[in-house]
Amino acid sequence: MQPTIIKKEAFQAIGISITTNNELEMSSAGKIPHLWNQYFQEQITNQIPNKTTQTETLALYSNYESDETGRYTYTIGVPVSTVIDTPENMTSFTIPAATYAVFTTRKGPLSEIIAEAWQDIWNWSKENKRTFTTDFELYDERAFDPNDAQVDIYIALA
């Protein structure tokens, strides 16, 4: 899977967050599936003010402790025009302007395509410099059907 290289301006997002690491997420004790369940069950997107889109959800990886082996913050949310009025139970932040390698998954079940794409990204990372600042998965109208979805994954480059 070869990425497309793009520059993206800074933007803001609001969502719900956890702190985790990849070792935990590859076990049955992973926290990310529970966060997605909470996001949908509590209809978090409907509680976020100042949304800039109705069709995009982001899964953001930020506050990296080190590299893919360390702890990081995982946030599910949406892009917003301002972080003013962030609800108390949510996290807000600014994603800095950056150059990204954008990986587009194949179409398929979300549970398969995301894991596959990250394996490709980790292999690709052995020869390419990541910044480990903020990376994100973009879920748009192509991901509405979780059994036949396609997602873009943005990896910040050094």
pTM for the structure as a whole: 0.95
For residue 153, pLDDT over 90 is answered with yes
Query: 158: pLDDT confidence band, cut at 50, 70 and 90?
Result: confident
Number of structural domains, the chain? Answer: 1
Predicted confidence (pLDDT) per residue in 108-140, tens digit: 999 899 999 999 999 999 999 999 999 999 999
CATH code for the domain in which residue 150 is found:
3.20.80.10
- Parent domain of 126: 4-156
> Which H helix or E strand runs over 33?
helix 32-41
CB 69 within 8 A of CB 76: no
Cα–Cα dist 148/140, whole Å: 13
Residue 7: pLDDT band with limits 50, 70, 90: very high
